[in-house]
Amino acid sequence: MEKVVLNAVKREKTGKGAARQLRKGGFIPCIIYKGNKSEPIQIASKEMIPFMNIATREKLFVTLKFEDGEKQAILQDYHVDPVTDKLLHVDFMEVSATEKIRVTVPVVLIGEPIGVKQDKGILQHGISEIEIEAIPEKIPGHIEVDVSQLEVGDAIHVRDIKFEHGIKVLSNPDEVIATLTIEAEEEIVPSTEEIVEPEVIKKGKKAKEEE
């Protein structure tokens, strides 16, 4: 797992008003959790935004650097404004280098399936994350799944993925990660209107000619 260092400051004021003031001042309000305890902190937006651009795609191990020491953590959750998409709040979970933790790791599909090239198959994506349990240093940033050998009708399940020793998979082994299907051609059947309409036109034309 890639490691990142963020400079953090403990904050005393909480609530919506205080959070708005922080964001106006160039900081993102955050919380770091450990068990049932939580501690409000703040991190500069100029550090958080680049971090979040990566952390939303990769699982990252974070060192939160304070004036009086450091804490190791991973991203737990985040909130954005539904209208502006601006980052509003971030939650971290403090971790120990020796304690196993449960996390979900993003799945990345690589390669072009044989069935797409040969049979014009369609690659269908299944689950996008796999839940695992491991100590932080064993947790991968993402899980690469090679789909290049898939033919029409094939599928890759969670149980097909080989993980490093020390990683326990918690997701259902029968969950589908990717499958290759073929789009059925639709049979074009003329509608009743398409058949009747020309006959009506012909009859109308014939009747006019008889007049």
pLDDT (tens digit per residue) in 58-73: 888 899 999 989 999 9
Query: Could you say which architecture CATH assigns to the domain 2-95?
Result: Beta Barrel (2.40)
- CATH number given to 103-181: 2.170.120.20
Nearest to 102 by CA among 72, 127, 144, 74: 74
- What percentage of the chain's residues is helix, strand, coil (to nearest 5)? 25, 40, 35
Average pLDDT, the chain: 86
**pLDDT tens, position by position, 108-125:** 999 999 999 888 899 999
Average pLDDT over residues 12-26: 89
**Burial (Cβ within 10 Å: 0-12, 13-18, ≥19) of residue 17:** exposed
Percent of the chain with pLDDT over 70: 86
Average pLDDT over residues 88-97: 92
Query: Which residues of the chain are in CATH 2.40.240.10 domains?
Result: 2-95
Residue matched to tokens 């799945």: 107
Two structure tokens written together for 134: 């491991």
**pLDDT tens, position by position, 193-203:** 544 444 444 44
- Cα separation of 164 and 26, whole Å? 41
Given this model, what pLDDT does residue 78 score?
A: 93
Given this model, what pLDDT does residue 204 score?
A: 44
**pLDDT tens, position by position, 121-177:** 999 999 999 999 999 889 999 999 999 999 999 999 999 999 999 999 999 999 999
Helix (H) or strand (E) holding 4: strand 2-10
Confidence of residue 35 (pLDDT cuts 50, 70, 90): confident
Residue 207 has pLDDT above 60, yes or no: no
Query: Which residues of the chain are in CATH 2.170.120.20 domains?
Result: 103-181
Average pLDDT over residues 74-86: 91
Nearest to 148 by CA among 119, 173, 123: 123
- Cα separation of 90 and 103, whole Å? 16
Residue 191 has pLDDT above 80, yes or no: no
